[in-house]
Chains A and B, each alone.
Chain A
Amino acid sequence: MGLLKTFVLGGIHPPENKLSANQPIRALAVPSQVVVPMGQNLGAPSRPVVKRGEKVKTGQLIAEAGGFISSHLHSPVSGTIFKIDNVMDMSGYRRPAFIIKVEGDEWMDNIDRSEKLVTDVNFTPEEIVAKVKAAGIVGMGGATFPTHVKLMPPPGKKAEYLIINGVECEPYLTADHQLMLEKGAEIVVGTKLLMKALKVGKAVIGIENNKPDAIRQMNELTAGEENISVQPLRVKYPQGGEKQLIKAVTRREVPSGKLPIEVGCVVQNVGTAFAVYEAVTKNKPLIERVVTVTGKALKKPSNLKVRIGTPVSFLLEEAGGLPEDTGKIIGGGPMMGKAVATMDVPVVKGTSGILLMREDASHRPVEGPCIRCSKCTQVCPMGLEPFLLSRLARTGRFETAEQESVMDCIECGSCQYTCPANIPLLDYLRLGKNKVGAMIRARTRK
């Protein structure tokens, strides 16, 4: 396998633990109440357009984009807006959200709910972008960057490659994998739509080699497509990182501080490609997604199709109930996911998984002194020196941290994963990024 492509710098091989692999996607029932936070995308939160007490239908617009980098929000259920209030979301902060009491499941009339595959992609680029924007689609790999913004390259920049991210390098997660197996044809149509919108001539679907069935499936489905190819990749975390994936597929390096468009690339997750398909051909807004519910002690690790706003506890019930010795609940994967404080937090557009950790695996090992082994430097996929950056952040030397490129950190956690002294390197790097980011913003305001 040594000949397969992968990114160059650093990387780690955590145990994959794909417990829910090959579990068919099951549609989860609609709960009796959903909580839909307004800030589900990167950028500005959405602005509500419905009021308390109003009746809404499934798929109805309830909040519109609150800025250029923002997205629309739709009701994932039909019912009554019970309250608009601050509710704790996965970040642990209380933020404005719609609380909707569910009554039946009455969809908007213009949404095509049939499963029939539509292959007609006769739309203009503008139509596609407009529909993607109207559907409130964001990057579904977890970054939640508004997709329509990515489809509008800034003036003077031109996309050459569309890269579809089917890497799913996070341990445990299988949602994208299963989606490729079950909705591969739809993803291919979504890919074609994205290519049209971006006016690119070439698309590459990147899939890690630990999913041979998905590679085979996507290869078969794209056999007749001259411009779409499937690129198997050697397994290495964090290959699903945008910059790493571009490097692996095209050998191009996104310059420090720049966006992928700088090297002519746009990356979209397979889940996003599927959402684009549904939005454009079926008028369906982003109101549900596939979520992997997994954990070593869980009875039935599953891939569930879930309405946005469904509480985590509802998903856990379907997967066999909360095991006795659960010490931590993570929204997302184990490397980059967020530990949540309660089981009431809702699934949002960027929730790729819910992972339960056993009590004994929930605590960090005791921190020791740095022995300067340089493992963190060896595994950093951005070529940084985490040992140095963490010390700079710890001692408040943020100017030096900026010079040492702390802002390039993608927070993949490889350094902390590998540190033999169990130093919480990423905690300190985040602190450094936070402070340096504030410094940069203060400078640009002047």
Chain B
Amino acid sequence: MLTISGSPHLHSDNSTRKIMYGVVIALLPAMFIAVWYFGLGALKVILLSVGFSLFFEWFIQKYFIGGSLTITDGSAMVTGILLAFNVPSNLPWWMVIIGALVAIGIGKMSFGGLGKNIFNPALVSRVFLLVSFPVAMTSWPKPSPITKTLVDTITGPTPLGYIKEGLGAGKTLAELTPHLPSYAQQLMGQMGGSLGEVSALALIIGGIYMLWKKIITWEIPVSVLLTVFVVSGILWLINPQKYMDPVFNLLTGGVMLGAIFMATDMVTSPMTRGGQLIFGFGIGLITVLIRVWGAYPEGVSFAILLMNAVVPLINRGFKPKRFGTARVAS
């Protein structure tokens, strides 16, 4: 018997599974840093988050929406890891489970599952947890290499939180900055923060891996980072007594994690290069606005979620350059 089907009769070895596990591999350096600085607490949060993300995906598919099971495609695992990366390493276990339920149940499956959600599931959950458990979500364990201690007891603010609080209390930057970690420490991740966001270096390595494997393109991360750098740089030039320098803004908080791993989520980002640049610009701008004038010290999650909401609009406005027509948009 001969098979009849339309062309093409070849398929590349690309697959959803390959993309998702590629992202998991890209997350490994940051995961290593998380466990290195925050100890077994970080590992516990990651395992709980991944485990329950997979469980809820399976449970909801089996008992609510039906269809073929997709827990092996790696997407729930990516969501689980990213959720863990966005919370402190000492978050109580039951909050992590609630987080996984919100990420998978509300963030993803309520829209119909993989590919259908509007908002990044891990960020939906992070914001939910932040609003519901503000204290637990903002008490950050101080990093200390795993070789020194196995328990994390000392907590403190993130550099961004420290600055915001200090400025709010009427202190000047000159008084505050000596107490901040150095650029090198920030790059390596030796500072307070969500467990996966601290090391810019580890995240950049993951990003380069994803670029090399063609999982992501450069447009979104570069436009987010560049916008944060330029906008915070302008503010810093205007008044260096009041605003932190642009390098500090890039290395602290969730900018790197957001730009490289959260904003680049395929499902919730624009389809064309032009659209991706606008999307990244919006995220960078809103991030700085929230950091400088908002109530929260950190604004990447909100910025990404806000821009997620306008992706369908961006997709309408930014079409690829059609062959044989005058330039519409790039």
Residues in chain A within 8 A of chain B (CB atoms): 9, 12, 14, 92, 171, 243, 247, 253-258, 326-330, 332, 334-342, 355, 357, 362-365, 368-375, 377-378, 380-385, 387-388, 405, 408, 411, 413-414, 416-422, 424, 426-427, 430
Contacts and interface: CB of A to CB of B under 8 A. Distances in A.
A369 B3 contact: no
Contacts of B272: 374, 377, 385
A364 B70 CA distance: 19
B44 interface: no
A345 B97 CA distance: 62
A68 B15 CA distance: 47
Given A368-B73, A371-B267, A382 B323 contact: yes
A373 B2 contact: no
Contacts of B115: 369-372, 421
B148 interface: no
Most A CB atoms within 10 A — which of B2, B15, B269? B2
B324 A339 contact: no
Given A371-B267, A418-B14, A256 B114 contact: no
A416 B66 CA distance: 26
A420 B214 CA distance: 12
Contact of A405 (B217, B269, B322): B322
Nearest to A424: B6
Interface in B258-300: 266-272
A421 B322 CA distance: 24
B179 interface: no
A408 B11 contact: no
A328 B2 contact: yes
B325 A255 contact: yes
Contacts of A334: 7-10
Interface in B129-151: none
A148 B217 CA distance: 46
B266 A339 contact: no
A12 B12 contact: yes
Interface string B103-124: 0000000000111100000000
Nearest to A416: B8
Given A256-B322, A374-B272, A405-B322, A430 B11 contact: no
Most A CB atoms within 10 A — which of B113, B114, B268, B270? B114
A357 B2 CA distance: 10
Given A256-B325, A418-B14, A421-B15, 6 more contacts: A255-B325, A258-B324, A340-B2, A342-B2, A382-B323, A382-B324
Nearest to B271: A374
B10 A14 contact: yes
B106 to A, nearest CB: 18
Given A369-B115, A430-B6, A384 B73 contact: no
A231 B328 CA distance: 31
Given A383-B322, A408-B323, A420-B14, A372 B2 contact: no
Interface in B1-59: 2-12, 14-16, 18-19
Given A336-B7, A420-B18, A422-B15, A382 B322 contact: yes
B114 A9 contact: no
Contacts of B213: none
